[in-house]
Amino acid sequence: MEGVVKMKRFGVALAIIVVLLVLVGASSVVAESSEPLMDVQVKIRANQTHVLVYVNGVPLNDKISDLQNQYHVVSNHLKQVDSNVYDYILLNEMKTRLIRMHQYAVNALQKEIAMNGNLTNEQKELILNEIARHNTEIMNVQSDADSILINILMRYQQTINERGEFSYGGYHDIYGDFHYFKEVDDMYLTENVFRVTDCYSEFGQSKVLQGGWITIKGISSYGTFGTSRGIVVTYYDPALGEERKYRSLGRNFVNGEVNFGDFRIKWDKNVFEIKLKIDEDTPEGMKQVTIERKTMDGKTESIKVAFDVVKPQLEVYTTAYNGKVAVTVKTNLDKVRIEYGGQVKELTTQFDRAFTIFDQTGSTKLIASGVGDYSFVKVTSVI
């Protein structure tokens, strides 16, 4: 129990460290704006009501407005969905670019006041007002991002406190005694080793998504120079009372591979790797795999390993804002495919989340689905 608490605290600390690293990176980027400005012009309109900064002939305010729009699209979206630390990292990147542009303008305006001796008092006042406006915008966007971060960390802490992930994390030996995968008492110094060393999928240890593959690794040896004698693998589903039995080669072999479509086993000397395909309609819950082998004297020994089958999750949240559609996909899949208005994107998820922005079209339907073995997982969202 103490170890679980420590892991929870470590998770929270890790999230905060990630955010701090992001903020340090943002500060270093913003600092770049203090470098000498090249090809910069400050112009005051004839009506004496507005000040414009041009960089290489392009109005800097146009760039700022575009970045401001992108930032508010994401900010508005994150305030309406269950956002997380990864979402904040995306927002922070946009915030950093926006603040950098504002500070670029401030530096140019300050330089204009310092270097241009022909400015009237009225023109200086206009420039000072413009500097104040940019500084206010910087504070506003920073305050907005900070409030989103605080809400994310509060939800993250609550989730960590409420959720305790369970993993079998081990196997039962030939006597029925349970051992954790990482538990190694004899360091394989004995001549006879028969154990499971890991059970996992891309979803995690001792669990697999419906439609995925579960991998079981282990050792079956008789002495240092012995050869593996083949094994029988039985998959059992308590929910259905169903058994599937697979047999490796019925003779001694040092290495090789067997493929039955939904079952694969590979040997490398005394180490074996088993892969089992889990059907997409397999009931959720605990499943068991029994691995049997024949001993040197002809007797049968068996070890057992259990794992959980979990339903793939795919939740889609969309918001439309100023000609853009922001999309958050909350999922336990590694990759997702998103189709909208003739546009298709394939995204890799991080922290159980994928995020993207589309240009808004006349379409009102957005489709999110899994990729590969999980293409059967599909959600349609109306914008």
The Cα 195–Cα 372 span in angstroms is 32
The Cα 173–Cα 196 span in angstroms is 9
**pLDDT of 310:** 92
The Cα 118–Cα 10 span in angstroms is 60
- DSSP state at residue 350: B
Exposure string for 315-344, b = 16+ CB within 10 A, e = fewer: ebbbbebeebbbbbbbbbbbbbbbbbbeee
CATH homologous superfamily for 314-382?
A: Immunoglobulins (2.60.40.10)
Residue 371 tokens read as 């990729």
**pLDDT of 307:** 92
Neighbours of 29 (CB within 10 A): 14
**pLDDT of 365:** 93
Return the sign of the alpha-carbon dihedral for residues 156, 22, 321, 105: positive
Cβ pair 273, 215 in contact under 8 A: yes
Pick the CATH number of 170-310 from 3.30.70.1110, 2.60.40.1930, 3.90.1640.30, 3.40.50.150: 2.60.40.1930
The model's pTM is: 0.62
**pLDDT of 136:** 94
**pLDDT of 370:** 95
The backbone torsions φ and ψ at residue 220, rounded to the nearest 5 degrees and listed phi first, read -135, 105
Return the sign of the alpha-carbon dihedral for residues 359, 365, 371, 372: negative
Residues of the chain with pLDDT below 50 are 1-38, 46, 162-166, 224-227, 250-252
**pLDDT of 222:** 67
